């Protein structure tokens, strides 16, 4: 490495310019790679979303039937429904308080 006394302003300017070009080239490479990673991630997310939508589509009739059965049970036994609701709210409150 050259000592500071032998470096001229022109040498420093050349080195700064060379480093700037290298930095610019690195930014281009990173932008290309980042774009490729983004596309890959986007495709994977799209595939997962499609799979999830298909599974939900298949499970929707069963979920709907169970929901109607729960609704009938809640109408037939309102006190039990209120008690279960209070238990769920209490559990959620306990979880929130314990996390703090």
Residue 4 in any domain: the answer is no
- Residue at 56 is within a domain: yes
Would you place residue 7 in the very low, low, confident or very high pLDDT band (cuts 50, 70, 90)?
low
Boundaries of domain holding 91: 9-99
Over residues 12-35, the pLDDT tens digits come to: 888 888 999 999 999 888 888 888
Taking the whole predicted model, whether its pTM rises above 0.85 is answered as: no
Distance CA 44, CA 50 (A): 10
Separation between Cα atoms, residue 84 and residue 80, nearest integer Å:
6
Question: Per residue in 51-90, pLDDT tens?
Answer: 999 999 999 999 999 999 989 999 999 999 999 999 999 9
Confidence of residue 41 (pLDDT cuts 50, 70, 90): confident
| Domain count within the chain | 1
């Amino acid at each position: 490495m050259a000592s500071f006394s032998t470096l001229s302003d022109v040498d420093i300017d050349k080195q700064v310019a060379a480093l700037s070009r290298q930095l610019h080239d690195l930014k281009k490479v990173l932008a290309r790679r980042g774009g490729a990673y983004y596309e890959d991630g986007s495709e994977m997310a799209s595939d997962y979303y499609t799979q999830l939508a298909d599974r939900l589509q298949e499970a929707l009739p069963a979920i709907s039937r169970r929901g109607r059965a729960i609704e009938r049970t809640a109408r037939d036994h309102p006190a039990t429904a209120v008690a279960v609701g209070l238990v769920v709210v209490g559990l959620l409150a306990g979880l929130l308080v314990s996390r703090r």
